[in-house]
A and B are shown apart, each in its own frame.
Chain A
């Protein structure tokens, strides 16, 4: 106290160690002094002093602990206080310019919102673990084709893998599809799966009621049982605990033994699971009908399992005769189950995430240039602060606090934007994104947003902060608001150029997608479905025990459809166009069992080609001559003729049904006679060339509609909705035990391109956002440059320069960085767009039309954005502007 020295507070005089040592030593010394004064011998006094003090080490230790934690707490409080002070100051500064703040927050909200939304999709679809127990052990297995690629698995191969492989804890086969399920009040259209014995070993689910199917249920001749999902029990059966109830599923009556929780649905969407082993499966290694999944044994890698299965498959299949070889596996693959569930969507999503990143960069660039301009305007204020003793670091921190506050506000608003966008994306992506239900804004997403906001603050705030704080010299105080003009011009040109380059890449990316989407939509699928309503129907297997019963059912149903007012044609088909459902088989030609060709096998009725508006090119379609007992007749597609009988007359030639129906095994093989040729229809996909196709009459070979068929009705009014309700009523009258799910053929076509459309719409939105932001950025920078050069313009005008020349000067100054940005952007885009090649259709990634249009759009944008300030530059009275400085 005496000397008044300040030892406490921010700068402790001693280290904790030293502080404690000195204090304790002082105590002992003072005690010694006192004892000596009282007449003690110094040595004895020291000894006594130490004794009285007690355990010195323990005391010192305790003191150090207390003071260390005290000092840490003080340090923390100081830092918090400093940050809080910066934030308060930043808030005050931002309140003073509400327009700037609003624009900045909005810009950031859009940029951060776009990223948050897309990241929540990527997180839900790609990053989050699959919603199964120990999901990393789950794999799916496919057979390898000789021609390349993979195919579904033959039962015999699955059986042998299961018995011989050592890599798996469990290996299960399943088939799945939708059908009519009876057992509730109404017939229900449900997704069902037939699963093999180890399915529940692969997915160890705990039922919410009852039990899973067990070994005894999974064998030939066992009493049929099934487990259902809780939502199926609730919605279709109207009960919480349906254990013991009976269902009819694909012609089999089965008892419900268990209910599964709603969070389990594999295969995706499945509501009813039943054992597959009740009937024996064919052992032909060329019948590829099964999906196979497995759970890896602990410690076995995907690759090791793959090698084992591949090797085993080669051994099992052995050397096949040449004509069989194309239909047998040449190996097998094992892949993580995630790959099957997520499919190809990862590519599109990552592209969108990259695009969102570009949008944010454009936003950052915009803000950086605005902040730079603001920093120059505020140069005076900052200079005053510097002159008053604020260090450069302090001022940088202050300016970064402003960007930080902006970024946090932008992030908060961005999360709100993202919440809206995510909702829209979930609707938009319902048919094209896997795991769409798992897309949420959760903790991981918010963490991502926060990190993004902080990075953003540094990215757009650091350059202006460094720049502005460096300008706070005394010169600046004197020079007023004019900073280092040359430096600013270079910086701004760079910022504008990078904005333009980024916007260009976004626009080119979406331009390419737009062009290829247009190309996809302009594909001629070979049919016109605009006026067609359809439903898949699966008549009960117990009510219609044989093929004849099915034929009679469809005969009657089609008659009813044709009687609907407004309906012009009706047909049944065994496959629907553009959705890839038609089976492909080996067809024997010309009555010669040794002459083969690959073709699609489709069942149809005589009006099928009227319904689809497929032209009859030659011969005739079926009529009353082609009844069930008449010799079988077929209609073939033009590409079939081109492939197998080029330049020959196809009428009267013979084809077999391949392995697709029960006439294949007849001896001699039952052939059908070609009576007509029709135009090509794309059955595989809109983007896949039509394959040779043979149409058989359902009346002669009803085999492939025994589990259900597609009913298509054409409306003469052009609006298929008008016949749809009548269809439902007629079907109900024909058989109340059939579930009906009506849709329109045009929806089928648009669903088949929904993933393309999704990526296109989102990327297009980003590109538009990028373009607007870039335009605002260019406008802002050019306006600012003009405002600062008003004096120069005034002088030029006063000296007799034509206003047009001055305008050109400004315009040129604005456009120069735009052109620079275009050049850089084109170079970058021509490299970057290569990753999109796989997503494009009939368009190369370097498509010149796209590049040229985008360049024109950006040039026009840059021109307009610079034109407004350019016009303004000559509209002022030179004398006034000169006096103003």
Chain B
């Protein structure tokens, strides 16, 4: 059976974006490329879906944006994590770790049969 690419869990995209931006401020395309490279193309995302998500995060005050120029001199909108966004990311990460641990205990337990 061929390995399936992982479907993105609902709401996970936001966390991924926050995590990505926590390394450095970057433009939308940068976020998309970083995700692609880091996950080794495991996540299949329509690249466009990133943008409404970014803007929603901006509306929530988790990221802020400003227009700037890329290394190649192209105009692009850059996003950066706000203090509030950093806090939100930490909360999400803690939750995620607890979740993984709990799942690990259950799924890692020896199967009977």
Contacts and interface: CB of A to CB of B under 8 A. Distances in A.
Interface string A43-80: 00000000011111011001100110110010000000
A26 to B, nearest CB: 5
B90 interface: no
Nearest to A33: B72
A13 B55 CA distance: 16
A30 interface: yes
B112 interface: no
Given A1-B25, A27-B28, A63-B51, A54 B68 contact: no
Interface string B48-64: 11011001101100001
A8 B64 contact: yes
B10 interface: no
Interface stretch (B11-19, B75-83, B91-99, B101-109): B75-83
Contacts of A629: none
A3 B69 contact: yes
A29 interface: yes
| From A6, A14, A24, A59, residue with most partner B Cβ within 10 Å | A59
Interface size class of A (residues with CB under 8 A): 35 or more
Given A23-B76, A30-B29, A55-B46, A7 B66 contact: yes
Given A66-B52, A66-B56, A22 B75 contact: yes
Nearest to B72: A33
A317 B68 CA distance: 95
Contact of A5 (B58, B67, B80): B67
B55 A22 contact: no
Given A27-B29, A31-B29, A55-B48, A7 B67 contact: yes
Given A8-B64, A54-B49, A30 B69 contact: no
B74 A26 contact: yes
B20 interface: no
A2 interface: yes
Interface in B15-39: 25, 27-29, 32-33
A7 B55 CA distance: 15
B29 to A, nearest CB: 4
Describe A's contact surface by its main secondary structure: helix
Contacts of A1: 25, 66, 68, 78, 80
A5 B66 CA distance: 8
A66 B77 CA distance: 16
B77 A23 contact: yes
A34 B65 contact: no
A19 interface: yes
A30 B70 contact: yes
A2 B69 contact: yes
Contacts of B67: 5, 7, 13-14
A5 B75 contact: no
Contacts of B65: 7-8
Contacts of A56: 48
A22 B69 CA distance: 12
Contacts of B52: 59, 62-63, 66
Contacts of A55: 46, 48
Interface string A135-173: 000000000000000000000000000000000000000
A8 to B, nearest CB: 5
A828 to B, nearest CB: 58
A52 B75 contact: no
B10 to A, nearest CB: 16
29 contacts: A3-B68, A5-B66, A5-B68, A6-B66, A7-B65, A7-B66, A8-B66, A22-B75, A23-B51, A24-B48, A26-B27, A26-B75, A26-B77, A27-B28, A27-B29, A27-B32, A27-B48, A27-B51, A30-B74, A30-B76, A31-B47, A52-B46, A53-B46, A53-B47, A55-B46, A58-B48, A59-B49, A63-B52, A66-B58
Interface of B: 25, 27-29, 32-33, 46-49, 51-52, 55-56, 58-59, 64-70, 72, 74-78, 80
